[in-house]
């Protein structure tokens, strides 16, 4: 039916998260790694970015499991390969910062220092660093509670002091007066310094624009024009809501300058949920987000992938999840059954990932020398994801023959061994005599007395390790 999927060494353990395909530096998309066939979309995005004038913030929207992160890393390397200055920022990996300003600035400095090359103090990246320090003093959050703690030497709060009695009350009034005076002086100074701070932030933006221009000038010619500085921000939807908000707000107010194009890679509905979590369920998060980007791009949908795409993704998952049973022959049967049912039911890539995760957990958790029928396990794993009503009946041994076969059988089907297991498990149809002997021998070997117990055993193996959800390729 199908070529053998690459065999795994028995010392290779199972993965819960698939390995990302190798992305060659300066190349990006290759025949081997472009599992989702996104290269044409990447080339169109290249043309768009190269021809944008002025500051721009684009969002690249896509469902979880659609391959956003893989695509944007491939695209970034493709752009670097033709000389474009590209900064890649993993927002989820940086959301331990309280504020996004320093995290974003650090990425810019690190990336552009490579372009600048020399240690000249006058080079744009060195100048920009100075402006980052100055602007950081302006935008860094000030907590008034720190001032209060400083006024009391960090030892006692006002209520603690009052609890000491009349003497304590007098001391509390004194501390409160000093604290109020300190806060008033601080606010007054901030008002007086507002003009200076505005100039500091303007200088920061001007310095960033000059840095972007320098990076663009030193990049290779792309077509008949130079590329802007491209700043990719990935996994924004997976961040803590306060940090995600900090990122988009800092970009709009501080980093949106001529010569810089931001690409925010996210699942917008999830980001909207995060914003509603911060501002309330009735808050119009969609309209709020529209203020922060100029153009929304949609990653091509793989709701209905073709047969080739399904096969390539399935091969990738089987290899990188390291799906294996201790019996290599059963591995092959698992592969064939899953591949057949994935194509029969024309599953989306998202659903394929869910199915393979379930198959992986089941195959690796069944001990050596335990009853394991690959066609039944593969079938109920697919049922669990796409036909929960049938799965529920299989779970209690009440799945009818006709409905089971309608789910399992395909046109011009030659999977007689697999189909005979299903015929016997649902007590219907003619079974090949040779297969019948093998089936009965297996049942006697493991003391299985009734055919309808076969499906309940398979479901039990699938449910032996319950998971709340499956990780999918991002």
Instruction: Annotate 115-153 with b (16+ C-beta within 10 A) or e (fewer).
Output: bbeeeeeebbbbbbbebbebbeebbeeeeeeeebeebbe
Same domain, 278 and 316: no
Strands (E), 212-289: 229-234, 260-266
The whole domain housing 352 covers 307-463
Report if residue 452 sits inside a domain: yes
Residue 202 placed within a domain: no
| Predicted pLDDT of residue 213 | 87
Q: What ranges in 345-469 are assigned the alpha helix state H? A: 349-365, 374-386, 388-395, 401-408, 416-425, 433-445, 453-463
268 and 346, same domain (yes or no) = no
Same domain, 246 and 323: no
User: What DSSP string describes 269-304?
Assistant: HHHHHHHHHHH-TTS-HHHHHHTT-SEEEEPPP-SS
CA distance 117 to 218: 11
Give Cα separations from 384 to 351, 389, 453 (angstroms): 11, 9, 18
Inside any domain, residue 197: no
Mean pLDDT by 10 residues, the chain (474 residues): 41 56 90 88 93 88 82 95 92 87 88 62 77 81 38 45 49 58 61 74 89 80 73 91 90 92 93 85 90 92 78 82 65 88 89 88 83 93 94 92 92 85 89 89 92 93 67 44
Are both 76 and 104 inside the same structural domain?
yes
Residues in a beta bridge with 60: 265, 297
Residue 265 lies in a domain: yes
User: Alpha-carbon distance 425 to 400, whole Å?
Assistant: 10
pLDDT at 279: 84
Residues 273 and 332 in one domain: no
**DSSP secondary structure code for residue 352 in this structure:** H
**Number of domains composing the chain:** 2
| Residues 240 and 337 both lie in one domain | no
- Pair (100, 233) in one structural domain: yes
**At 28, phi and psi to the nearest 5?**
85, -100
Supply the pTM of this predicted model.
0.72
Assess whether 239 and 99 both reside in one domain: yes
Q: In this structure, which long-range contacts are made by residues 359-363, counting pairs with CB atoms below 8 Å and at least 24 apart in sequence? A: 359/323, 359/334, 360/14, 360/321, 360/322, 360/323, 361/465, 361/467, 362/461, 362/462, 362/464, 362/465, 363/323, 363/324, 363/325, 363/330, 363/331, 363/334
What integer pLDDT is reported at residue 447 of this predicted model? 93
Domain boundary, last residue among 234, 269, 298: 298
Give yes or no for a contact between 185 and 51, defined as CB atoms under 8 angstroms apart. Answer: no
Predicted confidence at residue 473, as pLDDT, reads 45
Query: Which pLDDT value is given to residue 411?
Result: 78
Q: Is 346 helix (H, G, I), strand (E, B) or coil?
A: coil
Asked whether residue 223 is domain-assigned, the answer is yes
94 in a domain, yes or no?
yes
Residues 371 and 366: their CA atoms lie apart, in Å, by 8
Q: Are residues 324 and 411 in the same domain?
A: yes
Residue 171 maps to a domain: no
Q: Are residues 256 and 356 in the same domain?
A: no
- Write down which residue in 254, 272, 298 finishes a domain: 298
| 370 and 459 housed in the same domain | yes
- Residue 229, helix vs strand vs coil: strand
* Residue 21, domain member (yes or no): no
Tell me, what CATH number does 112's domain have? 3.40.50
Q: Identify whether residues 367 and 425 lie together within a single domain.
A: yes
User: Do 32 and 19 form a contact (C-beta atoms < 8 A)?
Assistant: no
Q: Residues 38, 300: contact at Cβ < 8 Å? A: yes
Q: Which of 298, 330, 346 is the last residue of a domain?
A: 298
């Amino acid at each position: 039916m199908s070529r053998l999927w690459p065999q795994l060494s028995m010392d290779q353990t199972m993965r819960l998260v698939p390995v990302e395909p190798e992305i060659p530096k300066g190349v990006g998309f290759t025949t081997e790694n472009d599992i989702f066939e996104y290269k044409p979309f990447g080339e169109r995005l290249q043309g768009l970015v190269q021809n944008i004038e002025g500051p721009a913030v684009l969002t690249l929207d896509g469902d979880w499991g659609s391959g956003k992160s893989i695509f944007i890393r491939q695209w970034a390397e493709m752009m670097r390969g033709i000389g474009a200055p590209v900064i890649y920022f993993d927002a989820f990996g940086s959301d331990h910062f309280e504020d996004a300003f320093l995290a974003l600035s650090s990425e810019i400095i690190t990336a552009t220092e490579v372009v600048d090359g020399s240690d000249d103090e006058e080079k744009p990246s060195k100048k920009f660093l100075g402006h980052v320090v100055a602007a950081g003093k302006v935008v860094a959050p000030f907590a008034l509670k720190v001032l209060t703690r400083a006024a009391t030497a960090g030892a006692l709060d006002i209520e603690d002091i009052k609890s000491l009695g009349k003497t304590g009350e007098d001391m509390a009034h004194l501390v409160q007066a000093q604290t109020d005076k300190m806060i008033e002086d601080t606010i007054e100074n901030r008002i007086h310094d507002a003009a200076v701070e505005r100039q500091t932030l303007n200088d920061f933006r001007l310095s960033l624009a000059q840095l972007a221009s320098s990076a663009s000038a030193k990049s290779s010619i792309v077509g008949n024009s130079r590329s802007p500085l491209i700043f990719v921000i990935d996994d924004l939807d997976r961040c803590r809501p306060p940090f995600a908000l900090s990122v988009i707000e800092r970009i709009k107010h501080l980093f949106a300058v001529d010569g810089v194009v931001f690409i925010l890679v996210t699942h917008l509905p999830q980001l909207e949920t995060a914003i509603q979590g911060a501002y309330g369920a009735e808050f119009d998060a969609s309209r709020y987000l529209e203020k922060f980007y100029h153009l929304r791009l949609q990653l091509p949908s793989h709701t209905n992938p073709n047969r080739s795409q399904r096969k390539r993704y399935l091969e990738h998952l089987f290899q990188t999840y390291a799906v294996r049973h201790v019996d290599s022959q059963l591995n092959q049967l698992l592969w064939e059954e899953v591949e057949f049912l994935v194509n029969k039911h024309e599953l989306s890539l998202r659903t394929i990932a869910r199915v393979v995760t379930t198959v992986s957990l089941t195959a690796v958790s069944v001990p050596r020398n335990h009853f394991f029928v690959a066609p039944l396990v593969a079938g109920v794993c697919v049922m669990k994801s796409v036909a929960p009503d049938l799965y529920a009946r299989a779970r209690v041994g009440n799945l009818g023959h006709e409905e089971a076969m309608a789910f399992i059988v395909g046109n011009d089907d030659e999977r007689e061994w697999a189909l005979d297991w299903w015929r016997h498990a649902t007590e219907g149809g003619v079974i090949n005599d040779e297969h019948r002997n093998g089936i009965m021998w297996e049942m006697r070997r493991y003391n299985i007395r009734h055919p309808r117990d076969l499906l309940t055993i398979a479901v039990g193996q699938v449910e032996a390790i319950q998971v709340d959800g499956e990780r999918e390729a991002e």
